[in-house]
Amino acid sequence: MIPLSLFLACSSSPSTPAEAPPRALTLAGSSTVQPVVEIAGQAFEASHPGTRVDVQGGGSSVGISSARSGLADIGTVSRALKPEEADLTATTIGLDGIALIVHADNPLHAITHDQVVAIYTGATSNWSALGGPDRAITVVNKEAGRSTLELFEAHFGLKDKIMPSAVIIGPNGQAITTVAGNPDAIAYVSIGSAAVAEEEGTRIRRLTLDGVEASVENVANSTYPLMRPLNLVTKGAPAGLAKEFVDFVASPEGQAIVRKEDFVPVSGAAAAH
């Protein structure tokens, strides 16, 4: 008689090898960099079968803290690293500027440094002072932790001076939607994000700043006065799957995505501590 255990072993179907779990890569941080890495992530997954790229927002401060703590493999940060962030490595994948935007129906097309300061401190509160209609200005500001806020405050000397009654928003898309829905609003956002929105028919307009058009071309030629780098940040030098992704975004294919999203690509993207 055949032992039952042997019978069961012989009669069972051959075991199928378990599929290897997908390699996972997590990115978090800047809303400005987010659309670039989302599209790059899809292209990376297509060329790296078995890989999953998860992209989250939260702002540049989240990008720094997530990369530092290990909650994300790569932090996305739309500014240069600070001296106290020397434990991190930043790879610049593109350049961007910050544009002042108004509703498309607003007659204003240009603004100066001093006018921005007056609006954001509350010294100028009506569009009539700038040649517009007799209507109160709705000032839109960024929430704490956004690199766009830090750069805006630094450029215009507005640290701790922005009017407390300003409307507080988060990512670029929220600011663009707010202005597109309010003819009296003014906000500041990524030039790349604003350019894409305008191309899609969103009712906003970028304002010339101190006589220089807020365009991708003027970021590229360094004539626009308010610029910043777009960085992928890792704890130490990028390694493993994170390095593969960073190298992909820095490659000609990845830089074409940067350009398509209306940011300025950087030739030979380099990492720096």
pLDDT, tens digit, for every residue of 153-184? 999 999 999 999 999 999 999 999 999 999 99
What pLDDT is stored for residue 123 in this prediction? 98
Query: Residue 130 above 60 pLDDT?
Result: yes
d(CA 72, CA 232): 11
What is the pLDDT at residue 267? 66
The CA-CA-CA angle for residues 226, 36, 71, to 5°, reads 100
pLDDT higher than threshold 90 for residue 237:
yes
The per-residue pLDDT for 22 is 75
Q: How far apart are CA 233 and CA 72, in angstroms?
A: 10
Percent of the chain with pLDDT over 70: 90
Does the pLDDT of residue 14 top 60, yes or no?
no
If you average pLDDT over residues 107-130, what whole number do you get? 98
The pLDDT of 16-35, averaged and rounded, is: 82
CA distance 66 to 214: 31
Say whether pLDDT at 6 is over 50.
no
Does pLDDT of 270 surpass 80? Answer: no
pLDDT at 250 over 90: yes
Q: Comparing 82-86, 116-120, 265-269, which segment has the lowest mean pLDDT?
A: 265-269
Mean pLDDT computed over every residue of the chain? 91
Task: Judge contact between 187 and 140, C-beta under 8 A.
Answer: yes
In this prediction, residue 133 carries a pLDDT of: 95
Structure tokens at 268: 């030979």
Distance in angstroms between the alpha carbons of the first and the last residue of the chain: 73
Cβ-defined contacts of 16-25 (< 8 Å, 24+): 20/50, 22/50, 22/51, 22/52, 23/48, 23/50, 23/51, 23/52, 23/241, 24/51, 24/52, 24/54, 25/51, 25/52, 25/53, 25/54, 25/73, 25/74, 25/241, 25/242, 25/245
How many CB atoms are located within 10 Å of the residue 123 CB? 12
Confidence of residue 12 (pLDDT cuts 50, 70, 90): very low
- In this model, does residue 81 exceed pLDDT 80? yes
Q: Say if residue 21's pLDDT is above 90.
A: no
- Rounded to whole angstroms, what are the CA distances from 3 to 12, 13, 15? 14, 18, 21
